[in-house]
Amino acid sequence: MKLSFHGQSCIKIQTGEKTILVDPFISGNEKCDLSVESETPDYIAVTHGHDDHVGDTVQIAKESGAQIICNADLEDFFRLQGISNIASMHIGGKRPFDFGSVKLTPAFHGSSTVVNGQVVSFGMPNGFVFTIEGKNIYHAGDTGLFSDMKLIGELQPLELAFLPIGDNFTMGPEDAKIAADFLKAKKVVPMHYNTFPLIAQDPEKFVSSLSAGIEGIKLEIGESLEV
């Protein structure tokens, strides 16, 4: 499968037949190389309700017919936007799909947006473990460091982990290094950094800091890797 990075936490996973777009923050994100109109994924996976993660989910889902994968609190929000093709889950749950399976993992963060001048909460945010072609891919979502990351890696040995390193709103590089040790993924790719000044980080420094046995990979915007 091919995995590509498109700025902030937007990741595209392409199998032989299916495309999964995670946290499609495209319009309004000058760091993203994608265009909303050209994206036709089969699935859109959303980690939480903040605008830089929901992004263009509604428009892409309506125009492409993609099924949204999200927690059950976000499902209600998307249904109010006129979308019915939704696979809702909650943390700890695992669900089969035609590309493999998805398990929702904890993430320690917030999940809300403003609708008609009112703050609306969407419950707990989450991460994802995608099991595709026999390999487990972890997208941490927005989160701080937590010790149960050890269990995520133990229960489903990880081929690759996408970890936020921006600091301030999520883990910074130092905590993300500890997270990588907890997870024991073979490969680690940093995300959620340099979109705006408050989360400016040096990804090269982060990947070079990782422990022996963990391959750190810095992906440029639009760059991909095969796993």
- Which CATH class for the 2-218 domain? alpha beta
Structure tokens at 103: 């398990």
Are β-strands 11-14 and 19-22 bridged in parallel, bridged antiparallel, or unpaired? antiparallel
Instruction: Yes or no: say if 20 and 45 are a contact pair by the CB < 8 Å rule.
Output: yes
pLDDT at position 213 is 96
- Phi and psi for 196 in degrees, rounded to 5? -150, 165
pLDDT at position 120 is 85
Are β-strands 11-14 and 2-5 bridged in parallel, bridged antiparallel, or unpaired? antiparallel
Query: pLDDT truncated to tens, each residue of the chain (227 aa)?
Result: 999 999 999 999 999 899 999 999 999 999 999 999 999 999 999 999 999 999 999 999 999 999 999 999 999 999 999 999 999 999 999 999 999 999 999 999 999 988 889 888 888 999 999 999 999 999 999 999 999 999 999 999 999 999 999 999 999 999 999 999 999 999 999 999 999 999 999 999 999 999 999 999 999 999 999 99
pLDDT at position 35 is 96
pLDDT digits (tens, 9 = 90+) for 97-128: 999 999 999 999 999 988 889 888 888 999 99
CA distance 78 to 85: 9
- Phi and psi for 73 in degrees, rounded to 5? -70, -40
What is the average pLDDT score of the chain?
A: 97
- Phi and psi for 197 in degrees, rounded to 5? -55, -35
**How far, CA to CA in Å, does 186 sit from each of 52, 133, 153, 162, 215?**
28, 16, 10, 11, 6
Domain spans of the chain, in order of start: 2-218
pLDDT at position 115 is 83
Model's pTM, two decimal places?
0.97
DSSP readout, 28-64?
T-TT----GGG---SEEE---SSHHHHTTHHHHHHHH
